[in-house]
Chain A
Amino acid sequence: MIFVEDKNLVVPGDVLADDEYHTGRGTFKEGNKICSSLVGLVAVRDKKISVIPLQSKYIPKRGDVVIGEITDIRFSMWNLDINSPYSGFLPASDVFGKEKRDLSKAFDVGDVLFLRVVDVDEVKKVKLGLKGRGLGKFRGGILIYITPTKVPRLIGKKGSMINMIKDETKCDIIVGQNGVVWVKGKPEMERIAERVINMIEDQAHTSGLTDRVRNMLYELLGKEIEDEEEVPEPDIEEG
Chain B
Amino acid sequence: MAVIRCRYNMAPFSVGERKRPGPDRRSVEISKITADALRPAVFLEKFPRSTIDVFIEILEAEGGTRCAGITAASVALADAGIPMRDLVVSCAAGKAGGNVILDLSEDEDKDGEADLPVAIMPRTSEITLLQMDGHLTPDEFDRALDLAVEGCKKINETQKEAIRNRYGDDNG
Question: Closest 4 A-B residue pairs measured CB to CB?
Answer: A13-B86, A55-B81, A9-B172, A12-B84
In the complex, per-residue mask of A194-215: 1 if CB is within 8 Å of any chain B CB, else 0: 0000000000011000000000
- Chain B residues lying within 8 Å of A53, measured Cβ to Cβ, are 81
Q: How far is the CA of A85 from the CA of B83 in the complex (A)?
A: 14
A56: chain B residues within 8 A (beta carbon): 81
Residues of B within 8 A of A (CB): 41, 43, 47-50, 78-87, 121-124, 159-160, 163-164, 167-168, 170-172
Give Cα A15 to B87, complex, Å.
12
Q: Which of A11, A30, A55 contacts B160 (CB 8 A)?
A: A11
Give the distance in Å from the alpha carbon of A28 to the alpha carbon of B159 in the complex. Answer: 21
Question: Do residues B50 and A12 form an inter-chain contact, with CB atoms below 8 A?
Answer: no
Chain B residues contacting A55 (CB-CB under 8 Å) are: 79-81
Contacts A54-B81, A124-B50 known; 4 new A-B pairs at CB < 8 A: A37-B83, A39-B79, A86-B49, A147-B81
Q: CB of A90 within 8 A of chain B?
A: no
Given contacts A12-B85, A12-B86, A41-B171, contact A86 B79 (CB under 8 A): no
Chain A interface (Cβ within 8 Å of chain B)?
Answer: 4, 7-13, 15, 26, 28, 30, 35, 37-39, 41, 53-57, 59, 85-86, 122-124, 147, 149, 205-206
B78 to A12, Cβ gap below 8 A?
A: yes
Pick from B48, B170, B172: contact of A206, CB below 8 A.
Answer: B170
Closest A residue, CB atoms, query B89:
A13
Check A13–B122 contact: CB distance below 8 A.
yes
Q: Tell me, rounded to whole Å, the shortest Cβ–Cβ distance linking A137 to chain B.
A: 28
Compute how far the CA of A37 lies from the CA of B87 in the bound complex, rounded to whole angstroms. 9
Q: A85-B47, A147-B81 are in contact. Are A10 and B172 (CB under 8 A)?
A: yes
Check B78 against A39 for contact (C-beta < 8 Å): yes
B144 to chain A, nearest CB (A): 24
The answer on a CB contact under 8 Å between B86 and A123 is no
> In the bound complex, what is the Cα–Cα distance between A10 and B172 (angstroms)?
7
Contact residues in A for B41 (Cβ distance below 8 Å): 12
- Asked whether A124 lies within 8 Å of B49 as measured between CB atoms, the reply is yes
Which chain B residues border A205 with CB–CB below 8 Å? 167, 171
A155 to B50, CA, bound (A): 29
Given A41-B171, A86-B50, A13 contacting B121 (CB threshold 8 A) = yes
A10 cross-chain contacts in B, Cβ below 8 A: 172
Contacts of B121 in A (CB 8 A): 13
Q: Does A9 contact B83, Cβ atoms closer than 8 Å? A: no
Contacts of B84 in A (CB 8 A): 12-13, 37-38
Q: Which residues of B contact A9 (CB under 8 A)?
A: 164, 167, 171-172
What residues of B have a CB within 8 angstroms of the CB of A35 in the complex?
A: 85-86, 123
Task: Tell me the bound Cα distance from A4 to B82 in angstroms.
Answer: 21
Shortest A124–chain B CB gap in Å is: 5
Q: A12-B84, A12-B85, A39-B163 are in contact. Are A85 and B50 (CB under 8 A)?
A: yes
Evaluate contact between A11 and B78: CB separation under 8 angstroms.
yes
User: Closest CB of chain B to A163's CB: distance in Å?
Assistant: 27
Bound-state CA distance A7–B168 (Å) is: 14
> Smallest CB-CB separation from B171: which chain A residue?
A9
Q: Which of A13, A37, A123, A149 is the one whose CB lies under 8 Å from B43?
A: A37
Contact B87 A13 (CB under 8 A): yes
Q: Which of A4, A39, A57, A86: most chain B CB closer than 10 A?
A: A39
Closest to B122 in A: A13
Docked Cα-Cα span, A124 to B43, in Å, equals: 16
Question: A13 and B49: CB pair below 8 A?
Answer: no
State the Cβ distance, B116 to closest chain A Cβ, in Å. Answer: 23
Contact A11 B163 (CB under 8 A): yes
Contacts of A13 in B (CB 8 A): 84-87, 121-123
Q: Give the Cβ gap from A47 to chain B, nearest Cβ, in Å.
A: 21
Q: Which of B47, B123, B159, B164 contacts A15 (CB 8 A)?
A: B123
